[in-house]
Amino acid sequence: MGKPYHLFKYHCQDGDDFTVIAHRGASAYYPENTIPSFEGAIEMGADMVELDVQLTSDKEVVVFHDEKISRCTDGRGRIADYTLASLKKLDAGSWFDKDFKNARIPALAEVLKFCKDKIAVNIEIKTEAVNKMFFGGIEEKCLKIVEQSGMNGHVVFSSFDPRAIMHLKQIDNTAAVAVLFEKKHYGSKLPSDIMESLGTDAFNCSGSYFKKKWLADVELNNIPVNIYTVNDARNMKRFINMGVSGIFTNNPDILKRVAADIKQMQKSESQE
Ligand code: G3P
């Protein structure tokens, strides 16, 4: 029996331990990383929303994926060069559909307030916002915002940047943190070695990087594995049948249905 990795207290609505994670919200249907997208994920019954955080020029934590704002707003330039007030003037919805022209880039605090008592949150700290300081950096700011929002126990952090993971654990070793696997940082190490060296609580990996030969290692060591980003039913089924703990998807409605069908099938088989 491997190390008993602490399981996050998700708001799983159907009592099982498989996590439907809405990637940047229900982003197939709404502009990613906006309140309408998170609201859509809640309405579709997702267990968790995933979002990305970065810092503005006045050091506020905002929810946005790209380093540059042009793909998802009507502005130009880098997010880190704008104040929160100036970002708030941008239209963060029309690029997706003109019906969302009033959508704005949200601050992390706003999103956590919106999600409280409704859904768990995965906060991904973008590499662009990480530096070598651990006190005073984005990690400490996020931990404070989570604490102030009353969302402790319902938030898991993640990052591709090992520095962000180490900073979070150094500041608060009770924070739930998932590693986001990237070959350039971890090479051919096994998931259990990576987890052990960083002291993390879950292993998050792209569906195209996840190796079948890792299955024995994650099973033996009882490691929660979450796969991103899976939007089609066939691959959702494939990963659920492999035994993963959760899947990130832009289509949480499809994943809910696929997970429920598999559960029903397993129930019928066990009754035969
Ligand atoms: O956290 C899972 C997934 O979102 C990581 O990739 O590019 O969407 O940040 P990316």
pLDDT in tens, 5-27: 444 444 444 556 799 999 999 99
**How many angstroms separate the first and last alpha carbons of the chain?**
30
Residue 261 CA to residue 238 CA, distance in Å, equals 13
Active-site hit among 23, 154, 167, 185: 23
Q: Whose CA is nearest to atom 10 of ligand 1?
A: 65
For residue 2, pLDDT over 90 is answered with no
Q: Which residue type is seen at 70? A: S
- Interval 152-159 mean pLDDT: 94
- Does residue 91 line the site of ligand 1, with CB under 6 A? no
Per-residue pLDDT tens for 71-92?
999 999 999 999 999 999 999 9
Residue 132 confidence (pLDDT): 83
Residue 136 confidence (pLDDT): 83
- Interval 37-44 mean pLDDT: 97
3 sits in which H/E element: none
Which DSSP string corresponds to the chain?
A: ----PPPP----TTSSS-EEEEETTTTTTS-TTSHHHHHHHHHTT-SEEEEEEEE-TT--EEE-SSSBSTTTSS--SBGGGS-HHHHTTS-SSTTT-GGGTT--PPBHHHHHHHHTTT-EEEEEEPGGG--S-STTSHHHHHHHHHHHHT-TTSEEEEES-HHHHHHHHHH-TTS-EEEE--HHHHTT--HHHHHHHHT-SEEEEETTT--GGGHHHHHHTT--EEEE---SHHHHHHHHHHT-SEEEES-HHHHHHHHHHHHHHHHHHHH-
- Ligand 1 atom nearest to 229, measured from its CA: 3
Residue 15 confidence (pLDDT): 54
Q: Which of 48-57, 94-103, 206-215, 263-272 has the lowest mean pLDDT?
A: 263-272
- Does residue 126 line the site of ligand 1, with CB under 6 A? no
What band does 165 get if pLDDT is binned at 50, 70 and 90?
very high
Q: Whose CA is nearest to atom 3 of ligand 1?
A: 228
For residue 269, pLDDT over 90 is answered with no
- Does residue 161 line the site of ligand 1, with CB under 6 A? no
**In Å, how far are 75, 183, 196 from 189, measured between CA atoms?**
41, 9, 11
For residue 247, pLDDT over 80 is answered with yes
Domain 6-64+109-271 has what CATH class? alpha beta
What band does 3 get if pLDDT is binned at 50, 70 and 90?
very low
Residue 13 confidence (pLDDT): 47
Q: Which is more confidently placed, 70 or 135?
A: 70
Residues 6+ apart with CB under 8 A from 190: 214, 217
- Does residue 32 line the site of ligand 1, with CB under 6 A? no
Residue 133 confidence (pLDDT): 79
Q: Maximum distance among all alpha carbons in the chain? A: 62
For residue 134, pLDDT over 90 is answered with no
For residue 156, pLDDT over 60 is answered with yes
Chain centroid offset of residue 2 CA: 25
Is residue 23 annotated as a catalytic residue, yes or no? yes
Of 63, 65, 43, nearest to 104 (Cα)? Answer: 63
Say how many Å lie between the CA of residue 268 and the centre of ligand 1. Answer: 35
122 bridge partner residues: 50, 156
For residue 229, pLDDT over 80 is answered with yes
Residue 188 confidence (pLDDT): 92
Q: Return mean pLDDT, the chain.
A: 92
Q: Which two tokens stand for residue 82?
A: 């704008």
Residue 244 confidence (pLDDT): 94
- Interval 222-246 mean pLDDT: 96
Residue 4 confidence (pLDDT): 37
